[in-house]
A and B are shown apart, each in its own frame.
Chain A
Amino acid sequence: MSEEKYVPKSKLARWFDSRLPLLSLSHHLTEYPTPKNLNYWWTFGGILTFFLIAQIVTGIILAMHYVANTDLAFDSIEHIMRNVNYGWLIRYAHANGSSMFFLAVYIHIFRGLYYGSHKPPREMIWITGLIIYLLMMSTAFMGYTLPWGQMSFWAATVVSNLFGAIPLVGENITAWLWGGYSLGNPTLNRFYSLHYLFPFLIFALVVLHIWALHVPGNNNPIGIDVKKNRNETMSFHPYMVMKDLLAMLVFILIFLGFVFYAPNFLGHPDNYIPANPLVTPAHIVPEWYLLPFYAILRAIPSKLGGVIFMFASIFILVLLPWLDTSKVRSAVFRPLYKKFYWVLVVMVILLAYLGAKPPEGIYVILARIATAYYFIHFLIILPLLGRYEKTSPLPTSISDPVLDKLSIVDKFKKTAAEYEGENVDTFK
């Protein structure tokens, strides 16, 4: 970074830091300049870090008691819930933690979309973020299989069958994924193994994500580059740390509201029925955070087509920095983009809603419209907007919008006038 080189004060610290620059790293992290105008939507990075660590810690404890065997998995979870000290707390925190993790990541992603955080020079932050998101989805999906309840079993069956749609080798791939000719013990074991591995891959990618962030620095609500001086940036610690902490506590309060008072609200009741390969549930639905993709999958009349569109809906986001060609980052200065952005938000929520509904009648038609809009938004609307949208004039610095407040002199004049006025009335 552009700040002056950090040199530790004591001789010992200098000796250590020249061999392993941990002190320099920590100095960089605390002094890291953040724009002064970051709003509370920027606190979700910290919230996500908290949830990643919370999921890993609770997960490691659960792994001490869980048994990855189709005959024992369901009972071992009940054992955790009943007999392990505070097992109910750990498990409910882990299960609801995943939902909160996704809620936070969706807010984080949509914040990026609104303020143009995917645009140059931040493409690599965006792309590492998307890889993290993909890993999160697969981790969550495999984790949902572990209790080996009805929904676990059937959701896993539906998803692994998707690979069967691949021409020629599809059948072989599903058999390879299952480790047999049906979803069974080998599948559960490998899902468990990978469910334990992936969070650490996510952790490594989070390091890259933050590294990539620290090269250009934070984007900000105005979307213009900040000058790295005292008037426009502040050190990460203590300013952003305190703000992040405050937001994190509010979010944790919501999270614990679920854990303590509605722990099964976000789950499906069928997952408290042990898996039975002979009985198919009336409606197989994934967890709420995967519903938009499930809706896209079912909106396409052919199985292979559905799979292609579902994966494309994620892959298209990787191309976003090159599809969204507008030079202006923040939607604040893009009147048209702002409107299309909210249409996209509504469409994604609509897709989530439709993913939970049976694929029949009006739901299918709506799902097709919403899916079409999703792709049109990214493939047609954004490139066109980049070319034709008339953006509002950008301020020259991020402190500009603040300057319209009363200047100190004006304030003083006003107070003085008021004071004098009072004097006149009461004393003279």
Chain B
Amino acid sequence: MLIRLNNLLVKVFFIVFVIIISGSANSEEKKIEFIKNNWSFEGIFGTFNRASLQRGYQVYQEVCSGCHSIQHLSYRNLVEKGGPEFTLDEAKSIAEQFEILDGPNDDGEMFTRPRRLSDKFANPFPNVQTATAANGGAYPPDMSVLVKARKGEWNYIYSLLLGYEEVSAGYELDDGVYYNKYMPGNKIMMSQPLFEGAVEYADGTQATETQMAKDVTTFLTWAAEPHLEARHKMGFKVFIFLIILLTLVYFSKQKVWSRLDSKENSDQKDETFDKVERAVTEYEGEDPKTFK
């Protein structure tokens, strides 16, 4: 009976695993492989490429910022370590291009002034409703944490930017809706944003579609995770520290526990000594009394 039950259990296990594997194989076919790219910020030592971040800011400013806000970034972030690291003057002049409503002043009047480093990034629209209305009923999402808010993160954003395709015959699309290979459901309200030469890079890099997609994705990843470099750096230090500590604790533990063994032995020390002596005697075949 025991053996039969044993076999039954093995069968149950087997069936369950087969079903799980076939089940996950089914869902696998819905998954789309994102376009691969070597990102400098991936991995344990990953850091952002400064030039790419600066170019990425330019793409954001000239292409995306017409519709998309990044409300959690301030202009000062552009100067900070681990980011695009614009010089202070560069960042100041970037900020000054945008105005902000401030006040009230001493006369109780509201006034506009150029933005300062401490100000947030300028919003293209005053509120969500205006943004939605201006974009055919689809709100262009804020880009502050957009990379983290999508499955596939930066790979998804990069692929999406390059995923626009001609619709195959027979595929119906409404006005103002576009086909994108990587968008869930394939229908996207944003028209293809990047075209060859859409921006003219200040550093002379050729503005190909993939180059711009790569740069702006890098920029958006930084915008979502501005402390990524600090995190990677600290993580490495913490790991070195912990591994050293772990080694020390391991040997201390061994040492402490060996005391436990020796304590155990010392309790029986006399007894053991007698036993050993007897064993030696047996081996030598001599009487303990005459043993020298």
Which A residues lie at the B interface, using CB under 8 A? 36, 75, 78, 81-82, 88-89, 92, 230-231, 234, 238-239, 242-243, 245-246, 249-250, 252-253, 256, 259-261, 263-264, 269-270, 272-273, 282, 335-336, 339-340, 343, 346-347, 350, 353, 357, 362-363, 366, 408-409, 412-413, 416-417
B242 proximity list for chain A (CB < 8 A): 249, 252-253, 256
B275 near A: Cβ within 8 Å?
Answer: yes
B13 near A: Cβ within 8 Å?
Answer: yes
B232 proximity list for chain A (CB < 8 A): 260-261
A250 proximity list for chain B (CB < 8 A): 246
Select which of A238, A245, A252, A416 is within 8 A of B283 by beta carbon. Answer: A416
Q: Verify A409–B246 contact, CB threshold 8 A.
A: no
Q: In this complex, what residue of B is CB-closest to A417?
A: B283
Select which of B230, B249, B275, B278 is within 8 A of A242 by beta carbon. Answer: B249
Query: Sorted from nearest, which 7 A-B pairs have the closest CB atoms?
Result: A260-B235, A272-B149, A242-B253, A272-B145, A272-B148, A88-B227, A78-B72
B20 near A: Cβ within 8 Å?
Answer: yes
Q: Verify A269–B150 contact, CB threshold 8 A.
A: yes
A245 proximity list for chain B (CB < 8 A): 249, 253
B177 proximity list for chain A (CB < 8 A): none
Q: Tell me whether A343 and B9 are in contact in the complex, defined as CB-CB below 8 angstroms, given that A75-B72, A231-B264, A239-B256 are known contacts.
A: yes
Q: Verify A246–B246 contact, CB threshold 8 A.
A: yes
B169 near A: Cβ within 8 Å?
Answer: no
Q: Tell me whether A409 and B279 are in contact in the complex, defined as CB-CB below 8 angstroms, given that A264-B148, A362-B19, A366-B19 are known contacts.
A: yes
Select which of A75, A242, A270, A417 is within 8 A of B149 by beta carbon. Answer: A270
A340 proximity list for chain B (CB < 8 A): 9
Q: In this complex, what residue of B is CB-closest to A238?
A: B256
Q: In this complex, what residue of B is CB-closest to A253?
A: B242
Which B residues lie at the A interface, using CB under 8 A? 2, 5-6, 9, 12-13, 16, 19-20, 23, 27, 44, 72, 77, 141, 144-146, 148-151, 153, 184, 224, 226-227, 230-232, 234-235, 238-239, 242-243, 245-246, 249-250, 252-253, 256-257, 260, 263-264, 267, 272, 275-276, 278-280, 283
B238 proximity list for chain A (CB < 8 A): 256, 260
A89 shortest CB reach to chain B, Å? 7
B279 proximity list for chain A (CB < 8 A): 409, 412-413, 416
Bound-state CA distance A263–B264 (Å) is 46
Q: Verify A242–B72 contact, CB threshold 8 A.
A: no
Q: Verify A343–B13 contact, CB threshold 8 A.
A: yes
Having A259-B235, A272-B148, A413-B283, one finds 15 other A-B pairs with CB under 8 Å, namely A230-B267, A242-B253, A242-B257, A250-B246, A260-B232, A261-B44, A263-B231, A272-B149, A282-B184, A336-B5, A339-B5, A343-B12, A346-B13, A350-B20, A416-B283
Bound-state CA distance A230–B265 (Å) is 11
Bound-state CA distance A78–B148 (Å) is 12
B224 proximity list for chain A (CB < 8 A): 272
B177 shortest CB reach to chain A, Å? 18
A202 shortest CB reach to chain B, Å? 27
Select which of B12, B153, B253, B267 is within 8 A of A246 by beta carbon. Answer: B253
Greatest chain B CB density within 10 A among A81, A231, A357 is at A81
Select which of B2, B20, B27, B253 is within 8 A of A336 by beta carbon. Answer: B2
A92 proximity list for chain B (CB < 8 A): 231
Q: Verify B260–A36 contact, CB threshold 8 A.
A: yes
